[in-house]
Structure 1
Amino acid sequence: MTAKTLWTPTPERYDASTMAQFERFVGDTRGLTFEDYNAMWRWSVDDLEGFWNAIWDFFDVRASVRPEKLLVKRQMPDMEWGTGGRLNYVENILKHVDGREDELALIVQSETFERLEMTWGELRAQVASVAKHLRDMGVVEGDRVVAILPNTQTALIALLATASIGAIWSLCAPDMGHVAILDRFKQIAPKVLIAQDGYVHGGKTVDRRDVLGQINAGLPSVTQFVTLPVVGALPDGHVDWRDLTQDKVTFEPTQVAFEHPLWIVYSSGTTGNPKPIVHGHGGIILEAAKQSLHHDISAADRFCWLTSSGWIMWNAQWMALGQGACVALFDGAPNHPDMGVLWRFVADEQLTYFGAGAAYFTTCMKAGIAPRADVDLSAIRSLGSTGSPLSGDAYDWIYRDVKADQWLAPISGGTDLAGAFVLGHPGMPVRAGEMQCRALGNATRAYDALGNELTGEVGELVCTEPLPSMPLYFWGDTDGSRLRESYFEDYPGVWRHGDWISIDETGASVIYGRSDATINRKGLRMGSAEIYQAVEGLEWVMDSLVVDLEFLGRESFMPLFVVTAENRPLDENRKAQINAAIRAQVSARFIPNEIVQIADVPRTLSGKKLEVPVKKLLLGGDPAKVVNRDSMANPDSFDFFIAYAQARASA
């Protein structure tokens, strides 16, 4: 059954879009014409060299040395891109300054700092100044500069300054616990740490000084601490961030190799430390440019994506800055003082594009608000959504209660490739619950367990061709084994992403949720291992199992199952201790919906927790098919979960 159509673009709207301009450019410069989008998509994944060179030319990528060949080695996982090229990510963002020095680059609305505007000229000047100070601190190409900062201009300036000198950037959100932050930063041995000592959220001041003290003590590699004071005085021996931004110096970006590391982001698996994923300058430049086609972003836009600084969407939002758009940052609680605060921000700043996690739109819908009745949203042309599947009901709410004449374009991708697999197209109709198309250059398909391609059926989301923004490597993964195990173990030579997807014959798709055991809470992903570390650190907790029951059309639900020492009763006090440990060491976002006492955690013969079989069972899977009991060390332990699943189904 075809989903109902909610919006259809006019021919004039598509003709004016960047996607249409790119299509005409390919026709004029390559002599190629396409009967429809699917034909263009097939060209983009068959002729990878031709497609990515067309992206390079259309977006006028700046480079001191252009690679003779973009795709040097077309194989996964050992792909190779841009050998011999020399460029810099930051130069390709700040190229928009010339002639626009006094135009707005940033608008920042922060609970901590109130409202701020920054011009392109001011942005370049502060980036140049901070870069100069980093060099004075001894930071050189390849050194790591890390930060614990919210979604404000400080984090952006620090990123651009770091990358402009060839150093490597990494960021954690300030609401993360010290254990989770140290689990990330200790792996990459940073030289400089930049942090804010507190912030305001939901009307409350959060003092982070004690937590930062623990983090500072746990990073012996750091030679310089830079602090932005908010709640207290500058600590002894620290440098004040504000002093780094004042020097009048020339912006001089360092030219680096195409695959020189740009930043390290973290995507957690189910075991071990978070994966420190390294992306390169050239790959991110190309992927961000390509993404802007699918978002229809130009220098005329005012763009905002509601994001935490710990989410890959924080990095992804700079694709709009890379097209010369003004980016609006919102740093605060989206429900304080009420659920209308963000919609007032969208209206007051005359935003043309607004994106958020699907959970935000769903929360607005359930709160019964109707933004179109309260504020003027006439400037909005496009809405984006990601992080988790957006239900058909939420599509309906957006077109009924937000704005009828606008383009809703949900996307689905991941931290791992800093991009999207499936997303929007400004010339296609919007249908409830669907994403319009597969991304150009991204050979996205649905596979069954045997590696057969599926059409119109739910399967594993895979990518069968290399992308320039795929990880260069995991930091510290010297032999590449961890990277191969993460993406290429199930289907050799093919990337398995860990999502359930269906793709119909038109290329439209529906994401159904995670197919693996990664925890996805309101779009932010965390490995179960980090939750276990917090929970099992309590002396009376012997073992635990956590699953995230996220699936399209069902309320997200995360139960935590706990084995207590000597079968002590799991009373409210002990449950509060578990929640406090998760809040302090991981994040309050990962507090479970329910904590359940069990006698034993189901495990394989080799001792691995059976997270995925339990998840499949609780999502309605057949108990006889989700697990082979002969492979279990304790098969009787699964009986509890069968009974639990039956009780949930009948509730």
Structure 2
Amino acid sequence: MGSNIPQMANGTNKATGKEKRKLWAHPDPETTRMAEFMRGVNQKYGLKLKSYDDLYRWSINAIGSFWGEVWEFTGITAEKHYSEVVPKAAPLFPRPDFFAGSRLNFAENLLYPAKLKIDENSPAIIEATETGSSTISWAQLRSRVQKCALALRSHGVVELDRVAGFLGNHANAVVAMLAAASIGAVWTGVSPDTGVTAVLERLVQIQPKVLFVDNAVVYNGKTHSSHQKVEEILAGLKGLKAGVIFETAKGHGVKVEGLQVGEGKMWTYEEFVRSAGDLSGPPSFAQLPPSHPLYILYSSGTTGAPKCIVHSAAGTLIQHKKEHILHCDIRPGDRMLYFTTTTWMMWHWLISALSAGCAIVLYDGSPFHPHGDLSLPLLIQDLKITHFGTSAKYLSILEQKRIFPMQEPHNLDLSSLKAIYSTGSPLAPSTFEYVYSAYPSSLNLGSITGGTDIISLFGSPCPLVPVYPGEIQCSGLGMAIAAYSPSGVPVPDGEDGDLVCTAPFPCQPVTFFSSSSPAAGQQKYRDAYFETFPGVWHHGDFVRFEKETKGLVMLGRSDGILKPSGVRFGSAEIYNILLKHFGGRVADAICVGRRREMDTDETVVLFLKMEEGMVCDEGLRKEISGVIRKELSARHVPGVIDECFEIPVTGNGKKVEIAIKQILCGMNIKVGASVMNKECLEWYREWAETH
């Protein structure tokens, strides 16, 4: 391949017709792991792949060969090798069994990364809180997982049992998860900021055998006891065999005495481990089939009970290793901090970085305490973070406040940063520009997209292609994604459509958990992804693949698509305009379509949450309408612009557009407990009745 990796030409912005500015390109792409991988593929298969686009096309046209090469290159430890990568001409549904015949263990692959020389005394985990940090070595992590696994076994936990954590983002959560995975139990995590109803909506469905909890939560400088929540959760889990309390905050919160646990008892973690007896045995890892369940994650549950999505061990492992090693170019000794909760799929993505020899930084606390807007930048400086992940919302807040941590008077040293990753919602073009003006210009800003459904990415960062404002760099290797029209026909690059995947991939869910029958779980699975376009995975996002750059522009959720006069566009286009031109006046917004039974067309309604001291008057409405008409089109101009006092969001900060849309359209809906501030929905109901 030599020096043939080209730098792609500048692209053209669809909305303005102006040439997009290239914000970043790798200074030496030949040195990346992805380039090394491509050279190996060329040599083995007699190919002449020269660019990322060449490699991507090969990866989706030769699925078996590609995933087999990823297995070897990234280093999967397996007691028994696979007999076949994937059956030829396998459909997406029913889910094909990737790597059939192999036997492996997920936890073993994270604790003992293959093909890597790692000093067992070097950091594996760095725990960071609002008050400081501490380091856990690889040797210490392995020992702690071993002891926890022995304790779980001594309490009767076996393969396929569910083990749950009502835990913050700290090392104990990782230890409990890896211990469960080492046995072959299925892990599920729920963040302690989740309400009791939302916790039980999830855990009652899956009936865990053991529940780990924190005694308290420290956030924004305050300690909050977990006792009341834990007591109510335990009362709702009748079949629980054991409860285990971590003393996360010294001397606070939950006490073992008086807590009733289903069919067992409540233990402190120290008592739980001692109950296993002899702790001197060697590490033991159950060698399991590749499709063995590893995690249960949950759909958002904003308009009903959350669906329980079951993810496989091998599928999760190889997809994450592909993304970390090839797409993110992570090396042993790197340090990744992703600001996340244990509920969000990005927590699972972060933990898998251990398998690349990366030290993971677990931050448990407020991103704005104790040093205000500089809290996380200071953490990046002090801990020498190389890869930092966060939400688009966090970056947009810093953009609106014009926070430049490397400039006077702060002068932070952020030179360790190699990459910033953003997900949760589309990253606005103006925020791309902000990041490259506020952080090192040498870093790869990776806006990424995927989701809980696939526990990974469809749109990825990439060291072989440039970064353009507003675009996800590329479609992920091995992910045959496209944009479809409502009739199920692929649309040309440059046009908007529904995000679909047309070929099998290993991180497809195994099933949806169902206590009634396996068939019921499979039916829920089919209904979720294969109802809209039979035989094709329908992801539920609205997207555009750019003609020149092949980058992805995310336009919002498909079920929230705006369709005035039959023209389809995503709410993200409106949010980008507001952030770019009205930051400082408009704090946040939610944009939905309204069409009631008596309406002949859909009306786009834009609600604005104003910054303190700002008002939504007729002058602002006209100004917003004028900018949208100029930068987008007349069809994009909302029919109604009004002020609201709050925007409903999920625990991950995603706007709950579909619930607002249904309320405005006059539908009677049951709003799930995962809407963090669902009390504000009553205001929207009252608004709908009077407008």
> What per-residue deviation string (whole Å, max 9, x for no partner) do you get for residues 476-508 of structure 1?
063222111111111001111111110023421
* Map of 2:603 onto structure 1: none
- Does structure 2 retain, via aligned residues, the 8 Å contact 1:602–1:610? no
Q: Which of the residues 413, 427, 431 maps onto 1:376?
A: 413
> What per-residue deviation string (whole Å, max 9, x for no partner) do you get for residues 577-619 of structure 1?
xx99x99xx86968989x999998624xxx88999xxxxxxxx
SS at match of 1:429: coil
Is 1:507–2:557 an aligned residue pair? no
* Map of 1:352 onto structure 2: 386
- Does structure 2 retain, via aligned residues, the 8 Å contact 1:346–1:377? yes
Whole-Å Cα distance in 1 between the matches of residues 199 and 175 of structure 2? Answer: 21
* Map of 1:95 onto structure 2: 112
- Does structure 2 retain, via aligned residues, the 8 Å contact 1:8–1:429? yes
Is 1:553–2:576 an aligned residue pair? yes
Whole-Å Cα distance in 1 between the matches of residues 429 and 139 of structure 2? Answer: 43
Whole-Å Cα distance in 2 between the matches of residues 160 and 180 of structure 1? Answer: 25
Give the partner amino acid of 1:204.
K
Query: Which piece of structure 1 moves more, 102-111 or 256-265?
Result: 102-111
* Map of 2:602 onto structure 1: none
* Map of 2:136 onto structure 1: 118
- Does structure 1 retain, via aligned residues, the 8 Å contact 2:555–2:571? no
Displacement after TM superposition at 1:94 (Å): 1.3
> What per-residue deviation string (whole Å, max 9, x for no partner) do you get for residues 97-148 of structure 1?
975210111111123x742100000000100010000000000001000010
Change over 3 Å in CA distance of 1:599–1:76 after alignment to 2: closer
Whole-Å Cα distance in 2 between the matches of residues 355 and 333 of structure 1? Answer: 15
Q: Which of the residues 640, 648, 666 maps onto 1:602?
A: 666
Change over 3 Å in CA distance of 1:350–1:57 after alignment to 2: same
* Map of 2:444 onto structure 1: 407
* Map of 2:295 onto structure 1: 263
Displacement after TM superposition at 1:217 (Å): 0.5
Displacement after TM superposition at 1:286 (Å): 1.1
Whole-Å Cα distance in 1 between the matches of residues 507 and 92 of structure 2? Answer: 13
Whole-Å Cα distance in 2 between the matches of residues 388 and 597 of structure 1? Answer: 18
- Does structure 2 retain, via aligned residues, the 8 Å contact 1:396–1:432? yes
Q: Which of the residues 16, 20, 35 maps onto 1:4?
A: 20
> What per-residue deviation string (whole Å, max 9, x for no partner) do you get for residues 424-460 of structure 1?
1112111111111100000111111011112111111
Change over 3 Å in CA distance of 1:223–1:4 after alignment to 2: same
Displacement after TM superposition at 1:355 (Å): 1.2
* Map of 1:107 onto structure 2: 126
Is 1:468–2:506 an aligned residue pair? yes
* Map of 1:457 onto structure 2: 495
Q: How many residues align?
A: 564
* Map of 2:60 onto structure 1: 45
> What per-residue deviation string (whole Å, max 9, x for no partner) do you get for residues 451-479 of structure 1?
11121111111111111111100000632
Whole-Å Cα distance in 1 between the matches of residues 655 and 217 of structure 2? Answer: 21
Displacement after TM superposition at 1:192 (Å): 0.2
Displacement after TM superposition at 1:642 (Å): 12
* Map of 1:319 onto structure 2: 352
Give the partner amino acid of 2:381.
A
> What per-residue deviation string (whole Å, max 9, x for no partner) do you get for residues 519-546 of structure 1?
xxxxxxxxxxxxxxxxxxxxxxxxxxxx
> What per-residue deviation string (whole Å, max 9, x for no partner) do you get for residues 315-355 of structure 1?
11123211001111111100113010100000111111111
Query: Which piece of structure 1 moves more, 239-248 or 443-452?
Result: 239-248
SS at match of 2:106: coil
Correspondence 1:511-530 to 2 at 5 A:
511-516=554-559
Q: Which of the residues 309, 325, 329 maps onto 1:296?
A: 329
Give the partner amino acid of 1:192.
V
Displacement after TM superposition at 1:233 (Å): 5.6
- Does structure 1 retain, via aligned residues, the 8 Å contact 2:23–2:469? no
Whole-Å Cα distance in 1 between the matches of residues 343 and 160 of structure 2? Answer: 22
Change over 3 Å in CA distance of 1:18–1:591 after alignment to 2: closer
Give the partner amino acid of 1:319.
S
* Map of 2:632 onto structure 1: none
Whole-Å Cα distance in 2 between the matches of residues 10 and 560 of structure 1? Answer: 39
- Does structure 1 retain, via aligned residues, the 8 Å contact 2:448–2:461? yes
* Map of 2:175 onto structure 1: 157
Whole-Å Cα distance in 2 between the matches of residues 95 and 597 of structure 1? Answer: 48
- Does structure 2 retain, via aligned residues, the 8 Å contact 1:279–1:472? yes
Is 1:79–2:95 an aligned residue pair? yes
Correspondence 1:172-571 to 2 at 5 A:
172-229=190-247, 230=249, 231-232=252-253, 234-236=255-257, 237-244=265-272, 247-268=279-300, 271-292=303-324, 293-337=326-370, 338-373=372-407, 374=410, 375-454=412-491, 455-476=493-514, 478-479=518-519, 480-505=522-547, 506-516=549-559, 551=573, 552-553=575-576, 557-558=589-590
Uncovered stretches (5+) of structure 2, i.e. residues with no partner: 1-11, 14-18, 258-264, 562-569, 579-587, 594-644, 673-683
Whole-Å Cα distance in 2 between the matches of residues 266 and 290 of structure 1? Answer: 23
> What per-residue deviation string (whole Å, max 9, x for no partner) do you get for residues 291-327 of structure 1?
1111111113111111111211001112321100111
SS at match of 1:169: strand
Whole-Å Cα distance in 2 between the matches of residues 599 and 370 of structure 1? Answer: 40
Displacement after TM superposition at 1:159 (Å): 0.6
- Does structure 2 retain, via aligned residues, the 8 Å contact 1:291–1:319? no
Whole-Å Cα distance in 2 between the matches of residues 642 and 459 of structure 1? Answer: 33
- Does structure 1 retain, via aligned residues, the 8 Å contact 2:60–2:480? yes
Whole-Å Cα distance in 1 between the matches of residues 445 and 592 of structure 2? Answer: 35
Displacement after TM superposition at 1:79 (Å): 2.2
Q: CA RMSD in A?
A: 3.1
Give the partner amino acid of 1:494.
V
- Does structure 2 retain, via aligned residues, the 8 Å contact 1:108–1:153? yes
Displacement after TM superposition at 1:423 (Å): 1.5
Percent identity over paired residues: 33
Give the partner amino acid of 2:537.
W
Change over 3 Å in CA distance of 1:596–1:105 after alignment to 2: closer
Change over 3 Å in CA distance of 1:344–1:600 after alignment to 2: closer
- Does structure 2 retain, via aligned residues, the 8 Å contact 1:268–1:274? yes
- Does structure 2 retain, via aligned residues, the 8 Å contact 1:602–1:609? no
Whole-Å Cα distance in 2 between the matches of residues 423 and 145 of structure 1? Answer: 31
SS at match of 1:71: coil
Change over 3 Å in CA distance of 1:311–1:223 after alignment to 2: same
Alignment TM-score, normalising by the size of structure 1: 0.81
Give the partner amino acid of 1:352.
T
Change over 3 Å in CA distance of 1:367–1:608 after alignment to 2: closer
SS at match of 1:186: helix
Whole-Å Cα distance in 1 between the matches of residues 182 and 56 of structure 2? Answer: 33
Whole-Å Cα distance in 2 between the matches of residues 276 and 335 of structure 1? Answer: 32
Change over 3 Å in CA distance of 1:154–1:463 after alignment to 2: same
Displacement after TM superposition at 1:56 (Å): 0.5
Give the partner amino acid of 2:122.
E
SS at match of 1:214: helix
- Does structure 2 retain, via aligned residues, the 8 Å contact 1:127–1:161? yes
> What per-residue deviation string (whole Å, max 9, x for no partner) do you get for residues 175-214 of structure 1?
0000000000000011000000211101111111011100
Displacement after TM superposition at 1:28 (Å): 2.9
Whole-Å Cα distance in 2 between the matches of residues 284 and 591 of structure 1? Answer: 27
Correspondence 1:126-137 to 2 at 5 A:
126-137=144-155
> What per-residue deviation string (whole Å, max 9, x for no partner) do you get for residues 33-75 of structure 1?
3132112111111111000000001012111111211213710
Whole-Å Cα distance in 2 between the matches of residues 609 and 78 of structure 1? Answer: 31
Uncovered stretches (5+) of structure 1, i.e. residues with no partner: 519-547, 562-578, 612-636, 645-651
Whole-Å Cα distance in 1 between the matches of residues 159 and 481 of structure 2? Answer: 35
